[in-house]
Amino acid sequence: MNVATSSDDIGDKTPHVNFSLEGKSALVTGAARGIGQAICAALAAAGADVMGLDICAVAAPNLTYPSATEGQLEQTGKLVEGAKRHWIPVKADIRDAKAMRAAVERAVKEFGKLDIIVANAGIQAYGPLANTSEEDWNNVIDINVKGTANTVRAALPHMLSRKYGRIVIISSGQGRHGFKNGSAYSTSKWGLIGLMKSVAWEVGKDGITVNCVEPGLVDTPLTRNTGRWRELIHTAGKEAPENPTEQEAIAASAPSSVMGIPWMQPDEVAPAVVFLCTDAANRVSGACLDAVAGESAKWTG
């Protein structure tokens, strides 16, 4: 009978309890406001240097909310620099693969390396599938799916060469369930989960983790606009006025909320991203982390 000894142990026995990002560097897309801005600030607070990338312009003509601005990207920079971390702002479109490769090259040159990618940039548009134009469909898919893939593809060669990396893709709770009048958005966010799981499998032996964080409704320009409020009221089974108020949207949606709130704040999503970027999450890969104020309690899968 063979008796196992300590020499038979397999695996890394080093304790992984480090929640600091001191000495790490990150690239965050969609960094000018909302969840992206909160992620940049949270990464910096944990010790990381940050490159924040945003288009800072109209991403698609059919959006019902205002575009991000260079001034907002500057504000993100102030938050990062307020944490005494190095900040690099970049104005670029994630649909442009060449621009994404250039951003990664610049980050590597100025930071010395690139440890973390947070693919957060995306858009949301509404409308029944039967009435969705080819242009509107393509805008959502090209930005949310192709743009995210461009971001990840740009960073992977550097991470593979170092045998280290943390990739976090921001999907959505609406990628895990249907969304009336949101077929393009739900399709794109479900697609990101498939992208994440495939890449996690491909690079799992190379010291790179790949995960998704799935926010629920969050208080950002994508939620704080009459178009989204109208869809919230429709989802609650009520007739919505053409220009509903925020209070009407809250009254319709809050009663069915698991935690009794209509939507979260961006800085309530960011800590989940930070955790996945730390050494403490060394063995977390191929996973979806729901930051949805309990709404995933309603989902079957």
For the chain, the average pLDDT equals 91
Q: Check residue 5 and give left, alpha or beta (phi > 0: left; psi -120 to 50: alpha).
A: beta
Distances (CA, A) of 273 to 11, 58, 133, 250, 290: 26, 26, 34, 27, 11
Phi, psi of 54, rounded to the nearest 5 degrees? -155, 150
pLDDT in the model for residue 7 = 55
Which has the higher per-residue pLDDT, 137 or 292?
A: 137
pLDDT tens for each residue of 208-243: 999 999 998 888 877 777 777 777 777 777 787 878
pLDDT tens for each residue of 107-159: 999 999 999 999 999 999 888 999 999 999 999 999 999 999 999 999 999 99
pLDDT in the model for residue 13 = 66
Query: Which residue numbers are catalytic?
Result: 185
Label residue 92 exposed, middle or buried (CB < 10 Å: 0-12, 13-18, 19+).
Answer: middle
- Which whole number is the average pLDDT over 5-27? 77
Lowest-confidence region among 18-27, 66-75, 99-108, 236-245? 236-245
Domains observed in the chain = 20-219+267-293 (3.40.50.720), 224-262 (no CATH)
Rounded Cα distance between 100 and 106, Å, is 10
Residue 8 confidence class, pLDDT cut points 50, 70, 90:
low
Q: 229 near 176, Cβ under 8 Å? A: no
Q: What is the 3-state secondary structure (H, E, C) of 144-210?
A: HHHHHHHHHHHHHHHHHHHCCEEEEEECCHHHCCCCCCEHHHHHHHHHHHHHHHHHHHHHHHHCEEE
Which has the higher per-residue pLDDT, 290 or 301?
A: 290
Q: Residue 34: helix, strand or coil by DSSP? A: helix
Neighbours of 163 (CB within 10 A): 11
